[in-house]
Structure 1
Amino acid sequence: MSNSPITVETTVNAPAESVWTAWNTPDDIKQWNAASDDWHTTASEVDLREGGRFSSRMESKDGVHGFDFGGTYVAIDPGKRLHYAIDDGRHVHVDFIDNGDGSVTVRERFDAEGTHTREQQQEGWQAILDNFKRHVEAKA
C-alpha cells in the first residue's frame, strides 16, 4: 500500500467566512461529520490555535460501534488553511480556496493509514466532505 497522501475536495457555494466557521464550530461539526446516514458525531471540541486540540466522537446510530477522532493543530492560516496531526501520527492539510464567485473549494490532503484500502479511505473522507458541503449550503 502506498503511503502517498490522499486528496479529496469539493466546492461549497457559500461565503468563505461561513465555510470556515462551519468547519471549526463544534455544533456544526456534529451536524455534518459522518460518512453515512447510519453514523453521527455525538461530541466535538475545538481549541482552534496552534498547539490546540480538537476531538470528535463518532458513533453508529445503533450504538454498536464508535471511535474518537482527535489531534493537534500544527499550523493555522485563518480562513485559508489548517494543518493538523491526528493522534495516530498522520497529518492532514485542509485548504479553503476562495474562488471569488461566492464559492469556496475545500481540499483535504491526508496521510493514508494501513487498515483500510486507499479507496475506502478516499470514499469515506469524500462522503464526509460531501455532507459538509450540503450542511453549509443549506445554512447559506
Structure 2
Amino acid sequence: MKINVETTVTAPIAEVWHAYTTPADIMQWNAASDDWHTTAASVDLREGGEFSSRMEARDGSFGFDFAGTYTKIVPHQLIEYAFGDRTAQVAFTDSPEGVNVSVTFDAETTHSVEQQRDGWQAILNNFKRHVEAEV
C-alpha cells in the first residue's frame, strides 16, 4: 500500500530543493514532534548514493537511523529512494502558489496507516515551516 502526504511551500524551487537535500537543513526540520530531533544527517545526492538521518527522542530514551539509497534524481523535480524493502518518491512541482512537495511511500506493518500518514505529514509540515522561515 502506498501512502501520500503533501504540502505547498511558499518559496522558490531552488530553495525548497536545497532545504530538502542539505544535511544542515534536514537536521532543522526532520522531526514529527517537538520531543524528537535529528542529531546527524548525510546526503550523497546521486543515483546510487546513500542518505542517513539519525532521529532521537530529546530525552535520550530512544533513537533510530532512517537510511537508504537514492534510485532516481531529477534536480528540482524528483527524488526516489529505497529504504530497506520499501520505496519512496518525493515530487517537487512549481505552481503559482509555491512549490508542491508530494511524498509517496510504501506503508509498513508495525503502525497503522493513519499513524504513518500523520507522522510523515508532521515532518513535511515542519519542512514547510523551516523553508518559509528562511525566505
TM-score class, shorter-chain normalisation, is over 0.9
The equivalent of 2:100 in structure 1 is 105
Contact 2:55 2:66 in 1 (8 A): yes
Answer yes or no: is 1:42 the counterpart of 2:33: no
Question: Whole-Å Cα distance in 2 between the matches of residues 114 and 55 of structure 1?
Answer: 22
- CA shift for structure 1 position 102: 5.9
The equivalent of 2:55 in structure 1 is 58
Cα deviations across residues 55-108 of structure 1 (Å, max 9, x unaligned)? 00000000001000000000000000000001x210000000000x26100000
Q: CA RMSD in A?
A: 0.6
Answer yes or no: is 1:68 the counterpart of 2:65: yes
Question: Whole-Å Cα distance in 2 between the matches of residues 50 and 104 of structure 1?
Answer: 23
Contact 1:58 1:67 in 2 (8 A): yes
Gap regions ≥5 residues in structure 1:
none
Structure 2 counterpart of 1:94, from 69, 77, 90 = 90
The equivalent of 2:74 in structure 1 is 77
- CA shift for structure 1 position 27: 0.1
Answer yes or no: is 1:26 the counterpart of 2:27: no
Q: Structure 1 or 2: larger strand share?
A: 2
Number of residue pairs the alignment of both structures matches: 135
The 4+ residue runs of structure 1 with deviation greater than 6 A are none
Gap regions ≥5 residues in structure 2:
none
Query: What TM-score, normalized by structure 1, do the two folds share?
Result: 0.95
Question: Whole-Å Cα distance in 2 between the matches of residues 102 and 118 of structure 1?
Answer: 29
Amino acid at match of 1:93: Q
What SS is found at the alignment partner of 2:91? Answer: strand
Amino acid at match of 1:115: T
Cα deviations across residues 22-73 of structure 1 (Å, max 9, x unaligned)? 0000000000000000000000000000000000000000000100000000
Question: Whole-Å Cα distance in 2 between the matches of residues 108 and 89 of structure 1?
Answer: 17
